[in-house]
Chains A and B, each alone.
Chain A
């Protein structure tokens, strides 16, 4: 009997639907990506093998740039605490800050980089003007006049009852005296736990830590 020829059917698949789904997913992920706010202070942090993620909420961040200048900033979700800090500093140092200047302190991404005697004029400037300034930073190296100590005391009182996440972000090239000043400011305020922001690095093979992590895997 002659073999029946099987009618050949088309094997090409219509990709239109797949394409639609792919672009829908893509749009979803593009819209939900949270971009980090542009950093006003360029800091290259050192590498470490630590794998703890840095805290993101209720953060008090002390930044140390490569010249060793110290800047202080608080995260946006700690509004009450921010308000309390500026009120206390105002009262303690008798700066006479106006409501507009206090509002300038409260804005997102604000950081303090000047000694107390320049604070009032610093708060009076707009964000564009402050971005162009060469800031001296908060003085910490003089043990008799460690201004960061005053700021941390105010922060301690502001964060009473809730957890304050203290982060130190230092540049590789910052010299030890600045870091020592920062640690002294913490010690004098009885703050003993803080985190230092670092870039991730792989654990070197053959070391004790490597064996420990391999053992738990």
Chain B
């Protein structure tokens, strides 16, 4: 431990009546300083390596108009998920029914169970998730949905635009225009 020399041990003139002051130790214990030093070191070790942001890979399919190059999606194995505004999620299985009866609404937490159930009940070759973000949905919604694909290990998924019928159904559910007649789902290019 560091030692500070007080010096002048001798040579004090003792005045009358002055009691001799008890000599206090001036040695400083440096152990806590060393502890702090090592704490700071570990802090800097960890912050230098942890400043790399992580990234999510996304592969898009080629946009071809040739029907033979588009992978045909078996309608019954498809789960279509629509992203609305304010974090609303709508989905339907297979093809959209003419009266819109299988158009259901949910939120981001419940969608995972729906995906898991659909995945369990479908043949892996036929299982496809079609993600259709709406114009009012945010980037976060899209990334969260792509994340769900990865979490649930969905091998085939596609991201396409919404049909006008779907937009109308969504607006109706959120309180807007009345529901018109439906159209059929078209084959979508599969990803991954």
Q: What is the interface of chain A, defined by CB distance below 8 A to chain B? A: 12, 14-16, 18-19, 22-23, 25-26, 29-30, 32-34, 36, 45-56, 64, 167, 170-180, 183, 186-187, 190, 192-201, 203-204, 207-210, 212
Contacts and interface: CB of A to CB of B under 8 A. Distances in A.
Given A172-B139, A175-B135, A198 B56 contact: yes
Interface of B: 1-2, 29-31, 33-34, 37-38, 40-41, 44-45, 47-48, 51-63, 83, 112, 116, 133-144, 146-147, 150-153, 161
B45 A29 contact: yes
Given A195-B58, A197-B53, 5 more contacts: A15-B1, A16-B2, A64-B139, A176-B138, A178-B139
B161 to A, nearest CB: 8
A53 B52 contact: yes
Given A48-B147, A50-B54, A176 B135 contact: yes
Given A170-B139, A172-B140, A175-B136, A22 B56 contact: no
A56 B51 CA distance: 11
B169 to A, nearest CB: 17
B41 A209 contact: no
Contacts of A209: 150-153
B139 A176 contact: yes
Contacts of A180: 133, 161
